[in-house]
Homo-oligomer: A and B are copies of this chain.
Amino acid sequence: MSQLKNDRYIRACLRQENDRTPIWMMRQAGRYLPEYRQLRAEAGSFMDLCTNPELACEVTLQPLRRFPLDAAILFSDILTIPDAMGLGLYFTPGEGPAFKRPVRTMAAVNALPIPDPNQELKYVTDAVATIRRELKGEVPLIGFSGSPWTLATYMVEGASTKNFSLVKGMMYQEPITMHALLDKLADSIIAYLNAQVAAGAQALMIFDTWGGVLTPSDYQEFSLRHMQKIVDGLKREHQGQKIPVTLFTKGAGAWLDIMAETGCDCLGVDWSTNLADARVRVADKVALQGNMDPSILYGSEQRIREEVSKILASYGQGHGHVFNLGHGIHQTVAPEHAAAFIKAVHELSPQYHQ
């Protein structure tokens, strides 16, 4: 079905027959790799890497040179869209991302442009095209974006937050303003992700990092509803190939059933939910991605292998499982432990594909 030499990841997302469970790792390109740290030291800031297509390509490929992973993911940040809207993204060491000009009123929402992915975000589509070319069809390239709600949390708060007081304050005091912001973000994300597909992305993922801080009904109204709009607006086929879409809301174990109704292909699952329970909840309507606690990579190779075995067994027989961590790999993990993790998935998963 595809020109890919290894299409296991695509096949798993679409729940098609496979010889083993594919694996990739969230944040597989990053600070736990010495070659990344070296390039970063030479190149400057994190955003200097993201905005230079050649460097973004190099960083994207680094983990694939080390490990037999089944997918590459664009090296970028979830906050590129608000940055392109003019909010002034910056990073303070140890504090996470922040914006110089947060958005807190209807006037500010109305003034936000919808970024043109081929202008303000051309560095991203250029990176996608470069990576796709350099991958030479080895494995698929995943493009991504943050979810509207998750982008809105950063845009309203202006910086990292524990309580989400400002963004929830807006949600409860001015729901119309909040929906206007989320709607504009959904439109921007649709254009952005479709441009990534046009440039060569072969699968898409939407990261809803902060949907789990909402009540069940607020999650449906303020996060899922706008992700639904995106799923409906994405090109799901390109040059004869299906483009699988994965939604990942951290902390959404209880809501997987309604997420599965959006028409996406795959759901990310964090480690607080057992995959056997998750599979029952989604009634095999979608594939599942996950869900090892990244901290298990601090354990011994034996401990890592045991956990891989447990997670494979919890999903059980079938082709709709993409192995991954339940969150990004931690920067202090030894690359050798990541190698042991990937090896365990390669060795232990074929028995579930008979």
CB atoms of B173 and A272 under 8 A apart = no
Least Cβ distance of A174 to chain B in Å? Answer: 10
Main secondary structure of the interface of A (DSSP, over half): helix
Selected contact of A254 from candidates B212, B217, B273, CB within 8 Å: B273
Q: Is A253 an interface residue (CB 8 A)?
A: yes
Q: Is A303 an interface residue (CB 8 A)?
A: yes
Q: Is A216 an interface residue (CB 8 A)?
A: yes
Residues of B within 8 A of A295 (CB): 163-165, 168-169, 171-172
CB atoms of B165 and A216 under 8 A apart = no
Least Cβ distance of A51 to chain B in Å? Answer: 25
Q: Is A296 an interface residue (CB 8 A)?
A: yes
Q: Is A36 an interface residue (CB 8 A)?
A: no
Selected contact of A274 from candidates B163, B168, B216, B294, CB within 8 Å: B216
Least Cβ distance of A333 to chain B in Å? Answer: 9
By beta carbon, the residue of chain B nearest A167 is: B295
CB atoms of A330 and B172 under 8 A apart = no
Least Cβ distance of A95 to chain B in Å? Answer: 10
CB atoms of B216 and A272 under 8 A apart = yes
Docked Cα-Cα span, A168 to B333, in Å, equals: 12
Residues of B within 8 A of A296 (CB): 168, 172
CB atoms of A163 and B330 under 8 A apart = yes
Chain A 272-299, CB-CB to B under 8 Å as 1, else 0, gives: 1110010000000000000001111011
Docked Cα-Cα span, A310 to B251, in Å, equals: 22
Docked Cα-Cα span, A172 to B299, in Å, equals: 5
By beta carbon, the residue of chain B nearest A252 is: B272
CB atoms of A168 and B293 under 8 A apart = yes
Residues of B within 8 A of A171 (CB): 295
Least Cβ distance of A249 to chain B in Å? Answer: 11
